Amino acid sequence: MARVAPTQDALYAELDLALSWSERDLPERERTKHVHRLHPYLGKFIPQLVEILLGRYFRPGQHVLDPFAGSGTTLVQALESGFDATGVDVAAFNCLLMDVKTRSYNPFVIEQELRAVHSRVGETPSDRPSAYVRRWFAPQAARELLGFRALIAGRSRRQRNSSAATRSTRWLD
């Protein structure tokens, strides 16, 4: 016969309280710090948990392997903590998230690219918004979304494949 904990206190007695937080202890804005807020990946765990586990079980110079890396929380925290890290996932979108979150960027190049895109996004796209887009978006928002899609379509295949925005605009068809 299965053993059942007689009380809630007995049930929770073996919990590691250093790995247990309430909403008051760790509000959402802290749980999703910096790049962890990039995409609402529902299966991820909080970066603070990874920080504690890395501190407990890894020593400087070790390599972290996450075989089910999902959105890359472990990779980001490992790299931030000074470890080398490798992540694997079967989902292409998850691999894209990992790449975007862990890549080194030149802020000056990003600023130039954003300014260039911003200056062109107001150009009138040749596509007329579909009935779906017209139903859900104000005319200006629809123009901007279709403008972004047109700019993405104009990039090279390699650039498009590395753009999270490509996937996020497919539903505009």
Q: Report pLDDT for 68.
A: 94
CATH code of the domain covering residue 21: 3.40.50.150
Q: Report pLDDT for 30.
A: 80
Exposed, middle or buried, 68 (CB in 10 Å: 0-12/13-18/19+)?
Answer: exposed
Query: What span, in angstroms and rounded, lies between the C-alpha atoms of 43 and 97?
Result: 13
Looking at the fold, whether 23 and 91 belong to one and the same domain comes out as: yes
Looking at the fold, whether 80 and 150 belong to one and the same domain comes out as: no
Q: Report pLDDT for 124.
A: 58
Looking at the fold, whether 143 and 163 belong to one and the same domain comes out as: yes
Q: Report pLDDT for 151.
A: 78
Mean pLDDT by 10 residues, the chain (173 residues): 67 72 79 77 83 93 94 93 94 89 89 83 70 89 81 64 47 45
Looking at the fold, whether 89 and 112 belong to one and the same domain comes out as: no
Phi and psi based region of residue 35 (left: phi greater than 0; alpha: psi -120 to 50; beta: remaining): alpha
Q: What is the pTM of this model?
A: 0.65
Which domain-ending residue is among 102, 129, 154?
102
Look at residue 6 and tell me if it is in a domain.
no
Range(s) of the domain holding residue 45: 16-102
